[in-house]
Structure 1
């Protein structure tokens, strides 16, 4: 769903850079910024860890 041409065209019109890498089965691979994708991945993992341990924070 994130790698459709329609969505990528909409993002390009809005001057938004796609951060998610293309699907490996895509015939024409597009370029993406590896550092931005890695940073996004790290931030998502931090929020996932906070959600997982929120019962500890509320129990105190």
Structure 2
């Protein structure tokens, strides 16, 4: 009767509140994406500082960082 009146769903594998493991999974995926972008930025900075890549500077007063 609880599901009928309150629009609640029954989860047989959980005895307390509904587990939110998908939030932890999404946070873990975002962590990996963030690490990929951080490593990309570090690699690009190293390539530019070692003159493997050239940084186009439009103004002579600009610093490349």
Shorter-chain-normalised TM-score: which range?
0.3 to 0.5
| TM-score, length of structure 1 as denominator length | 0.40
By percentage of residues, which structure has more helix? 1
Larger RCO (CA under 8 A, 6+ residues apart): 1
Q: TM-score normalized by structure 2?
A: 0.37
Larger Rg belongs to: 2
